[in-house]
Structure 1
């Protein structure tokens, strides 16, 4: 599909630029998870940055050109979860990353919980869109991954390692807190029905 065809795609068509970008991001996420255990930290870093950058682009494009689709509403957050959860899981086995298995478990558990709550609430006609706290959580998690990969590429630069661990612990704290906020919001929404 050419860019012109994608820009002129009918509203509601799944063949559009945002869904194409999400599909590419899915492939990039798999590449990051494959590269980390192989020790290709620089390639993993570059691909991770490209992948998370396309998340902003596909959302912007979908809103600007009216190409928001049901597939996109499901596929986009799914791929976000794959790249974040998968990268943290892959980092568990990388020596020197500082990512423990319980940290990856917290990240995965929070995503599964919020996704389940969203399905229940939106399935009954309610609105459970992502809030600002959830978006900042994603930003902090991405910053943690980038800083950790930089510290693995430059193991002798102490301040990068400290920054990586600071971002890591901050992202875990915000992951827990945002999960708590979503649970409270979900309980209020569910009590209305």
Structure 2
């Protein structure tokens, strides 16, 4: 999930939220994203970021997305702590844990009789985008790669958005080894929808909470 530009924008202003507001927002936001991820998984699609890596592991090995996503994010918390601080890191750890839990729980209570892959790409992308906006606005993130690209931007001067785009492109191309090109193309569509939702609704000067 491409999140670097949104996180960078979020650092512009920090409205105060109470604990119960953060809990409600992280729960709601990760539940939205989890539903989008379940739709992607049902249709055999994937996305960018650490969620995309987790999908690749899931499709290639059969390991559950939930476990793969939680494990893939573990090495990135050091970067999060150094780049964004302890509060952001703890909230991100909680958000990743909730998303892992919800992507495991939802399929046990929700089943699709039929879901068009194209519809899954669009609706899944919108749900993920909306959920990520909620999470961002309460000072958290849902993936590790965006923290790394911000770190590289600070240390090496590499543009975060361009580096994130390259990484996401490589992840989606990697899907050609585990699925067909039609699903890769629809995965790109889903990523575009997701990133448009973030780009349009999460800009400097608008409501932000990081």
Q: State the TM-score, normalized to the length of structure 1.
A: 0.32
Question: Larger relative contact order (C-alpha < 8 A, sep ≥ 6)?
Answer: 2
Q: Looking at CA atoms only, which structure, 1 or 2, has the larger radius of gyration?
A: 1
